Amino acid sequence: MNGFLNILKPPGMSSAAVVASIKRITGEKVGHAGTLDPEAAGVLPVMIGRAGRLLDYLPDERKIYVAEIAFSGETDTQDAQGKIIEPGRGCPDEEQFRQVLPFFTGDIEQIPPAYSALKVNGVPMYRAARRGESISKPPRAVHIYGIGYQGKISDDNFLIRVECSRGTYIRTLCRDIGEKLGKPAHMRFLLRTLSAGFRIEDSVTLEETDTPEKIANSLIPMEDAVMHLPAFDTDPSMEKQARNGVALETGLFDEGEFVRVRLKGHFLGIAQKTESALKFRAVCVSHEEKLAE
C-alpha cells in the first residue's frame, strides 16, 4: 500500500499517535508531513509506504490556519495548555485589533516558544523547559502572506485566518499580537485547513480510516500529491534505467528543476535536472511492480 491520507486530526491527539494508528492497521511504513500540536486540529498529511520518499517534494510553501486568540493573559506555552505568566489587561476593541494585524504580515521574525520541538544544541526546547532550564531562542524568519479578521466570538476572544510559510508558530503570533496591543494574549484553539497542498474539505477522519479497506478507499495516489511539478515522459526503451534510478539523458528543462518522471502513463518518481541529465531523487516503483500498457 503506497499513497497519502488526508487525515482530519482531532484535538487531544498527537500527530505521532495518528501515525501509529495507521501503521497498526496497514502494517506499512507510515509518516506524516508536518506536525500538529496535540491540542490543535485539522489537516495532517499521512504518507504510507513509498509515499514517504516524496516528503521533500510536496508543495509546502504555504499553510493556512484558523486560530482563536484570547486576551485573558499570556501563558508559558503561548497556548491554552500553559500556565498564566502575565494576567490579562482587558480586551482591545475590534477596530484596535484589526488595525494591528497588518504589522504582522510580510517577512517577520519570531522567537520560537520555549515549549516547542525545535532543537537547540541537539536538545528539544520543550524538554529543557520542562526541566526549568533556560535555552537561548534564536529568532526565525517566516513569512505571513495574510491575516484575515474572522470576528469576535466572546468577550475576550477573536478569530483570525492566517496564511503563512512553513515554520510559522501561530501561538507565537497570537502572543506577539497581544504584546503589540499591550494586552497579554495566548492562542486558545488552532485549526489547520491547508498543509502540503492538502485541504480540509477533502480530509477524512480516523473513524473513516479504521480498517485496511477504508484506508484503501481513501488513499490518494502518490503522483496526485506532486502534480505541481512538471511532467517528463521517458521513452519505454529507458524503463530499466528509470526503475533503477539511473540518470536519464535529456536537455529539456532548466537546471535545478524537479520533474515528475512518467513511463507508459505511470508515475515513476522525482528527478532533478543536472547539466544534461535527469538525476533521480526519489524512485517510487519497485523492481517487481508491473506497469500496465
Catalytic residues: 37
Whole-angstrom distance, CA of residue 124 vs CA of residue 139: 16
Which among 172, 168, 57, 197 is positioned nearest to 113, based on CA atoms?
A: 172
Please return the burial class of 201, using the count of CB atoms within 10 Å of its CB with bins 0-12, 13-18 and 19+: exposed
Tell me how far CA of residue 127 lies from CA of 102, 133, 240, in angstroms. Answer: 34, 9, 48
Helix%, strand%, coil% for the chain, nearest 5: 25, 35, 40
